């Protein structure tokens, strides 16, 4: 499945791992804000949100979060920067 298909799949949750203030400055429509520093403490919540596409400003923080969540066995991909994810959302 392509990243665009994944982004637009009805069961996919898009999670933005930027800070709350960054998120309020603009985000993917329908995305959920869970800052990177809260990923480990909110793992139980994230388990219920699979499959997931993660995004941030550039893809760096979402890449870190995606790697950690994959290690925990979650169905997740790094979508990169939120503007790229937003541009692919139909």
Count CB atoms within 10 A of the CB of residue 6.
19
At the second CATH level, the architecture of 3-88 is 3-Layer(aba) Sandwich (3.40)
Ranges of each domain in the chain: 3-88
Three-state secondary structure along the chain?
CCHHHHHHCCCCEEEECCCHHHHHCCCCCCCEECCHHHCHHHHHHHHCCCCEEEEECCCHHHHHHHHHHHHCCCCEEEEEEHHHHHHHCC
Cis peptide before 40 (omega within 30 of 0): no
Give me the chain's average pLDDT, please. 97
Q: Which residues of the chain have pLDDT under 70?
A: none
pLDDT, residue 1, reads 87
State the sign of the Cα–Cα–Cα–Cα dihedral 8, 36, 80, 47: negative
pTM of the model: 0.96
């Amino acid at each position: 499945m392509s990243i665009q298909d994944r982004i637009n799949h009805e069961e996919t949750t898009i999670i933005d791992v930027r800070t709350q203030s960054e998120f309020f400055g603009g985000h993917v429509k329908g995305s959920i804000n869970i800052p990177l520093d809260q990923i480990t403490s909110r793992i139980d919540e994230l388990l219920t949100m699979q499959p997931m596409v993660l995004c941030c400003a550039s893809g760096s923080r979402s890449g870190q979060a995606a790697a950690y969540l994959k290690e925990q066995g979650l169905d997740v991909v790094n979508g990169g920067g939120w503007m790229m994810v937003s541009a692919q959302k139909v």
